[in-house]
Amino acid sequence: MPPKATHLVPGKWPEQLETALFHAMLNHRVAGVHKHMNMAMVYMQLVRLEPSLTVKDIWDHLATMYDLDELDELEDGSWVAALEAMGKKAPKFT
């Protein structure tokens, strides 16, 4: 049986689901190298509240609030900033 069509509109989620999303994201950052694994964990928590929810629904909703590509860059580049803060140069990969 195909999944039910969701009735959620990105950017206009019910308060309970919105709150659950932010609680789930406290422990599971959906940016950087492990974003897809962490999204699976977020999804598993939220689907209990909204069975018709899909991972795409979550990504679409987050995209209404954040520049997800920029967050990925910040998360993936955080080790470079840490090295520079210690006065060391990050290696150049070409």
> Is residue 94 a part of any domain in this protein?
no
pLDDT tens-digit profile, the chain (94 residues): 444 445 788 889 999 999 999 999 999 999 988 999 999 999 999 999 999 999 999 999 999 999 998 888 777 666 666 667 677 666 665 5
Cβ neighbors of 36 (< 8 A, separation 6 or more) are none
> Is residue 59 a part of any domain in this protein?
yes
d(CA 60, CA 23): 18
Q: What is the pLDDT of residue 79?
A: 62
The residue range of the domain holding 55 is: 15-85
> Is residue 21 a part of any domain in this protein?
yes
> Is residue 92 a part of any domain in this protein?
no
d(CA 7, CA 5): 7
Q: What is the pLDDT of residue 11?
A: 82
> Is residue 58 a part of any domain in this protein?
yes
> Is residue 51 a part of any domain in this protein?
yes
Is the pTM value of this prediction over 0.75? no
Q: What is the pLDDT of residue 44?
A: 98
Residue bearing tokens 């910040």: 74
d(CA 60, CA 64): 7
> Is residue 39 a part of any domain in this protein?
yes
| Number of compact structural domains in the chain | 1
Q: What is the pLDDT of residue 1?
A: 42
Q: What is the pLDDT of residue 59?
A: 96
> Is residue 8 a part of any domain in this protein?
no
Retrieve residue 6's tokens.
């969701």
Residue bearing tokens 């928590």: 45
Retrieve residue 23's tokens.
């609680």
